[in-house]
Amino acid sequence: MLRYSLQNTPLTVLSLVSLAALTGCTIGPAPEAEDYAPEAPAAWAADDKETAPITPEALNWLSQWHDPQLSELVMEALRYNRDLATAAARVEAAAARARRAGANLGPSLDADVTASRGAGAERLGQGDTANRFDAGLSASWEIDLWGELRLQRDAARRQYEAAEADLAAAQISLATQVAQYWFDLIEANQQVKLAEDTLESFQSGQNIIRQRFERGLNDALDLRLARANVASARNQLAQRNLQRDTLVRSLEILLGRYPSGDLSTLKELPTLPPPLPEGLPAEILTRRPDLASLGLQLQAAARQVGAAEKAFLPTIRLTASGGYVSNEFDKWLRDDSGEWSILGGLTAPIFDSGRLSANKQEAEANFSIAASTYQDAVLNAFREVETALVSQQWLSEREDALRLASQENDRAETLAWDQYQRGLTTIITVLESQRRAFNSRSDYLSVRNARLQNRLDLYLALGGAPIPRDQMPPAPLVQLER
């Protein structure tokens, strides 16, 4: 580094300040995230309805399910979930970094008090012991001549705003996950009830076959097949109970509770709400907080590139100090013991073994990473919406087909039993009709839940929140116990 210093020269200091005011360059506009976003289509490809802009409030979905218990669980998760506490702590850390970066633009003031006692070399005639007492203030200020510090401050602010957007995204994702687990749990309860009813039906059929066997109307094969059918039904019931228990404990963890497994649910899946407005594809760039976060990180990376470029330019630092110095304690703080100094320094890099160049290359690479990450996220966001839109069409058709299949299989099971008891068909036909009836009922429950899950996915993909953003409860934050 090349450094020039002038001490005790107020005129020089004033000249340096004037130079900063006259030559301080303005910072040009940094690129916006939308400049790097893939072009959004005018309408969604999977939806042939006419699209129009919508407000974020139109996508507030929690009240549309008309389920007070679900609303309570979502709010509980937003208050006590540990992952949200982590995201909230990241916001606090980013805020502190932003304040620190902003503080670099201002001066610093330090106080110093020292007392020393020593002696020099006797051969130099300095062998006498002497005391020294110092007390004073020192101030320093780096003038942001080229805007490097302002760019660093702005980058830190964007990172703080990105952390806030990440927290908002985590809140929306958590609420959606709670609702999805809730609907999964309701389906699991219904699947358990279906498995219990199926086991009871199979046991009733086994009793009929056993009675016919005892009267010599059936052979042993029919009875053994019926017993195997009952055993399979018991296995299915155990699997369904295990699935329900796993879902309950997973949901309790999301709520911040101990996983005791005693959460109760509704007995029926809710009705699917009316179709929601999808809005324009370009709207999700600003409505989805996860995309907003990546866009802010892109802006921060652009400012870091600018700061790395400014680092090649000279810097000016002003320092001033004043205080009292004395060799005698009782004369330490007298007026005639005072001293002061003012220094203005200009520092310019000459040779640093490539450090500044490497910093600039790293900043440019980080910007490229941020830009490509943002572009990929936007494309995936479009894909998520398109997939959810087309899925709701096919899932609706599946539900209609499975409803009909379930009705027909129930009738076929009844007919098979009637024909079997009259000797018109074999036990194989009866068992197959039972299996088909059970599977179609189970599949019908699953597709109803799948439609609910897909609607939640669509809300999430469009950037919908469970409640208005300004009504979100404060995220939990674990404080250090002292």
Q: Which of 80, 134, 467 is nearest to 328 (CA)?
A: 134
471/462 Cα distance (integer angstroms): 19
pLDDT of 13 = 45
Q: Counting Cβ atoms within 10 Å, is residue 342 exposed (0-12), middle (13-18) or buried (19+)?
A: middle
Asked whether the beta carbons of 130 and 118 are under 8 A apart, the reply is: yes
Q: List, in order, residues 6 or more apart from 70 with CB less than 8 Å away.
A: 62, 178, 179, 182
pLDDT of 407 = 96
pLDDT of 58 = 80
Task: Count helices and strands (H / E) in the chain.
Answer: 9, 5
Going 300 to 303 to 308 to 313, the CA torsion angle's sign is negative
Taking each helix axis from N to C terminus, what angle separates 148-214 and 289-310, rounded to the nearest 10 degrees? Answer: 150
**Residue 44 dihedral angles phi and psi, to the nearest 5°:** -75, 135
Q: Is the pLDDT of residue 397 over 90?
A: yes
Q: What is the pLDDT of residues 448-469, one digit of tens each?
A: 999 999 999 999 999 999 999 8
State how far the alpha carbon of 422 is from the alpha carbons of 183, 217, 425, in Å. Answer: 43, 11, 8
CB atoms within 10 A of CB 276: 16
Asked whether the beta carbons of 111 and 285 are under 8 A apart, the reply is: no
Give the least confident one: 88-92, 412-416, 441-445, 470-474: 470-474
Going 428 to 434 to 436 to 438, the CA torsion angle's sign is negative
Q: What is the pLDDT of residues 20-76, one digit of tens each?
A: 444 444 455 667 777 888 888 888 888 766 667 777 778 899 999 999 999 999 999
Q: Is the pLDDT of residue 119 over 50?
A: yes
120/124 Cα distance (integer angstroms): 8
Q: List, in order, residues 6 or more apart from 416 with CB less than 8 Å away.
A: 425, 429, 430, 432, 433, 434
Asked whether the beta carbons of 464 and 391 are under 8 A apart, the reply is: no
User: Where residue 126 falls among pLDDT bands split at 50, 70, 90?
Assistant: low
> Residue with structure tokens 């304040």?
99
294/161 Cα distance (integer angstroms): 10
CB atoms within 10 A of CB 102: 16
Q: Is the pLDDT of residue 378 over 90?
A: yes
3-class SS of residue 332: coil
**Residue 29 dihedral angles phi and psi, to the nearest 5°:** -65, 130
Asked whether the beta carbons of 281 and 54 are under 8 A apart, the reply is: no
DSSP 111: E
* DSSP H helical ranges for 332-470: 355-421, 427-461
pLDDT of 22 = 42
Asked whether the beta carbons of 468 and 60 are under 8 A apart, the reply is: yes
User: Where residue 267 falls among pLDDT bands split at 50, 70, 90?
Assistant: confident
Could you tell me the residue ranges of all domains in the chain? 52-112+145-304+372-471
CATH superfamily to which 52-112+145-304+372-471 belongs:
Outer membrane efflux proteins (OEP) (1.20.1600.10)
Q: List, in order, residues 6 or more apart from 287 with CB less than 8 Å away.
A: 56, 59, 279, 462, 463
305/264 Cα distance (integer angstroms): 54
User: Where residue 244 falls among pLDDT bands split at 50, 70, 90?
Assistant: very high
54/59 Cα distance (integer angstroms): 9
Q: What rounded mean pLDDT belongs to the chain?
A: 87
Residue 92 region, left (φ>0) first, then alpha (ψ -120 to 50), else beta?
A: alpha
> Residue with structure tokens 């609702």?
179
pLDDT of 278 = 77
148/400 Cα distance (integer angstroms): 63
pLDDT of 264 = 85
Asked whether the beta carbons of 181 and 263 are under 8 A apart, the reply is: no
